[in-house]
Amino acid sequence: MADLPFDDEHAPLYSLGQVAAMLNVQQAYLRRLDQHDVVTPRRSEGGQRRYSRRDILIVQHVTRMADEGMTLIAIRRILELERELAALREELRRTRERLRELE
């Protein structure tokens, strides 16, 4: 049986209004996150923002940081550093795996 779109955490399934309602935030807040390149949802053929489950988790994370008083510039940098850290951890994991294979 083929995977369904909602099985993919990166599938852009949710509209701006749906996400705003789910997270109890203003639609303008979500637009602002997009305008400041903090969370960039994909666009439908008609140009409407479409969020994935992964995007929604990031918006939740961003909202918590904003509630703690962080600026969008700081939040964007934190997200960049978190992505870099995740990539480095994955690279380290692969390197360790290769070393084990060589032993």
What's the CATH number where 92 sits? 1.10.1660.10
What pLDDT, on the 0 to 100 scale, is given for residue 2? 58
- Tell me the β-bridge partners of 42: 50
Query: For the segment 36-66, what is each residue's pLDDT rounded down to a tens digit?
Result: 999 999 999 999 999 999 999 999 999 999 9
Residue 5 lies in a domain: no
CA–CA dist 46, 44 (Å, integer): 5
Q: Which domain holds residue 64?
A: 14-102
What pLDDT, on the 0 to 100 scale, is given for residue 100? 94
Q: pTM for the whole thing?
A: 0.82
Residue 92 has pLDDT above 80, yes or no: yes
Residue 3 lies in a domain: no
Residue 8 lies in a domain: no
Considering its fold, how many domains does the chain have in total? Answer: 1
**Stretch 31-40: mean pLDDT:** 94
